[in-house]
């Protein structure tokens, strides 16, 4: 398993979508005085430290037209959130609290208010920036009335594709990254739609960012395909693990732990295709339904989050979901997934009152158990609603046992060592004993158990 002790491997991320979290207006008027709404994050730092969070992923926060992924200026913080000083001070406070910070790098496309695109609109074929964008053609008009057509990301004409084979475009983006590192002291980037990005650009970005900060972390958004196309020694460090994202909730909903067990074996078991890759694991984010809305029984949040924190990879929590917050994607809006939240109100009327403490406990056991951060993975038992596996690392092992059923179930599995006695890390006074070759354990309904032991 993973032997590179990069800071990201030891991290618990907390993902915030700033424009929604901070209650910013849905559109940018590009004329208002900056309002430092990012400062609302300060009131959450104590809560994040209680959860065990030590890394922040802040979604898009540079000047944009609407949702942040339609960039207008890579060198200015969105005036709806504040200014460059606002961001610099926020990152500084996170660092003082022992939290790394990564930002969204949206390099595949820009919005129609991007300064070079506005120049193209004004000057047409005489613009020096027509080669900054993909497939600009002056033989026709587009649906916005411009005297040219162009390529938008996946057909969205409000997201204008950048020509990442143009050296001037690449230089503009890399200089922005340089400014983000030097002025804001960020620790990494999450690369939006990384699966679309030009490979030569990724090579340049990886070398450039690490030349400024040797442990700079690059996380790529990847929805399907072979993750090693992007996450490898030549390109970026990690990608979003959408395969297990789906398996984590649907294995509960469908009463079919075989689904997530298959994915974990394929990725991290003996001979697993990603056995040395710290994938970025999550149960929800700004683009998909809140996991509490996906599950059919809220009792499954216990076993689901236990899986998230104990499976191989780097776990992430999407803001508010630690309270069991619900939210579903609508046909033409993601607003329900990206709300402005009041921490005091959530704590006073938490949808799932015991969940934050459970997550904090899981974060502690992960923090204190290197086997969960670096260990190998081996399945011990799987049935429709029961699942057990073991993680091993340098003389330590940890066994995870889950029961997602509403009734007690017996699990019989191989013993990690003969005649051992194991104490449950999550539940006081719960022990299991093995004979020479096996362990039998009656698992209570809707429960998760973690047995950690150092081998002699």
Look at the chain and count its residues: 456
State the chain's maximal CA–CA distance in angstroms: 81
Please list, in sequence order, all residues whose beta carbon lies within 8 angstroms of the beta carbon of residue 12, skipping any fewer than 6 positions away.
51, 52, 53, 54, 55, 309, 315, 316, 317, 363, 366, 367
Which regions in the chain score pLDDT beneath 50? 1-3
The pLDDT value recorded for residue 1 is 43
The pLDDT value recorded for residue 355 is 98
The pLDDT value recorded for residue 3 is 46
For 188-294, where are the E strands, in sequence order? Answer: 188-191, 217-220, 238-239, 280-281
Looking up tokens 């590179």, which residue turns up? 4
The pLDDT value recorded for residue 454 is 62
The answer to whether 72 touches 28, Cβ cutoff 8 Å, is yes
Question: Going by CATH, does the domain composed of 7-112+123-131+161-372 fall within 3.20.20.80?
Answer: yes
The pLDDT value recorded for residue 374 is 96
- CA-nearest of 278, 271, 282, 270 to 243 is 282
Alpha carbons 324 and 351: distance in angstroms, whole number: 5
Alpha carbons 272 and 359: distance in angstroms, whole number: 28
Q: Residue 262 CB: number of other CB atoms within 10 A?
A: 17
Domain boundaries for CATH 3.20.20.80 within the chain: 7-112+123-131+161-372
The answer to whether 323 touches 356, Cβ cutoff 8 Å, is yes
Architecture in CATH of 374-454: Sandwich (2.60)
The pLDDT value recorded for residue 45 is 98
The pLDDT value recorded for residue 341 is 97
In the 8-state DSSP scheme, what is residue 4?
-
Domain boundaries for CATH 2.60.40.1180 within the chain: 374-454
The pLDDT value recorded for residue 418 is 77
The pLDDT value recorded for residue 21 is 98
Q: What pLDDT digit, counting tens, does each position of 143-170 carry?
A: 999 999 999 999 999 999 999 999 999 9
SS3 per residue for 64-106: ECCCCCCEEEEEEECCCCCCHHHHHHHHHHHHHCCCEEEEEEC
For 242-313, where are the E strands, in sequence order? Answer: 280-281
Alpha carbons 364 and 362: distance in angstroms, whole number: 5
């Amino acid at each position: 398993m993973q032997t590179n002790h990069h800071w990201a491997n030891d991290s618990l991320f907390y993902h915030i979508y700033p424009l929604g979290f901070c209650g910013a207006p849905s559109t940018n008027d590009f004329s208002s005085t900056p309002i430092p709404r990012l400062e609302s994050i300060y009131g959450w730092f104590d809560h994040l430290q209680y959860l065990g969070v030590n890394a922040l992923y802040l979604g898009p926060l540079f000047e944009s037209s609407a949702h942040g992924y339609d960039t207008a200026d890579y060198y200015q913080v969105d005036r709806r959130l504040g200014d460059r000083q606002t961001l610099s001070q926020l990152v500084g406070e996170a660092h003082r609290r022992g939290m790394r910070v990564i930002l969204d790098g949206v390099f595949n496309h820009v919005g129609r208010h991007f300064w070079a695109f506005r120049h193209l609109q004004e000057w047409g074929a005489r613009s020096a920036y027509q080669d900054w964008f993909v497939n600009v053609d002056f033989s026709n008009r587009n649906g916005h009335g411009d005297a040219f057509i162009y390529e938008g990301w996946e057909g969205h004409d409000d997201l204008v594709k950048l020509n990442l084979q143009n050296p001037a475009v690449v230089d503009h983006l890399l200089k922005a990254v340089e400014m983000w590192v030097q002025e804001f002291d960020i620790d990494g980037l999450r690369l939006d739609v990384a699966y679309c990005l030009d490979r030569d650009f990724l090579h340049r970005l990886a070398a450039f960012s690490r030349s400024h900060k040797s442990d700079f972390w690059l996380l790529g958004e990847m929805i399907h395909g072979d993750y090693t196309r992007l996450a490898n020694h030549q390109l970026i460090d990690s990608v979003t693990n959408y395969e297990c994202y789906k398996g984590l909730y649907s294995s509960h909903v469908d009463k079919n732990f075989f689904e997530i067990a298959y994915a974990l074996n394929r990725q991290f078991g003996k001979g697993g295709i990603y056995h040395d890759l710290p994938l970025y694991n999550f149960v929800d984010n700004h683009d998909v339904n809140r996991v509490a809305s996906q599950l059919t029984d809220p009792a499954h949040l216990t076993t689901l989050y236990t899986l998230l924190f104990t499976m191989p990879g780097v776990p992430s929590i999407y803001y508010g979901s630690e309270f069991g917050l619900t939210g579903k994607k609508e046909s033409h809006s993601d607003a329900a997934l990206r709300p402005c939240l009041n921490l005091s109100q959530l704590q006073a009327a938490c949808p799932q009152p015991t969940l934050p403490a459970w997550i904090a406990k899981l974060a502690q056991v992960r923090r204190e158990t290197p086997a969960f951060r670096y260990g190998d993975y081996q399945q011990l038992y799987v049935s429709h609603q029961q699942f057990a596996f073991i993680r091993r690392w340098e003389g330590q092992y940890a066994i995870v046992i889950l029961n997602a059923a509403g009734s007690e179930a017996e699990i019989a599995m191989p013993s990690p060592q003969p005649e051992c006695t194991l104490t449950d890390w999550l539940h006081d006074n719960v022990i299991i004993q093995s004979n020479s070759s096996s362990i039998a354990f009656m698992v209570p309904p809707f429960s998760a158990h973690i047995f950690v032991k150092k081998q002699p």
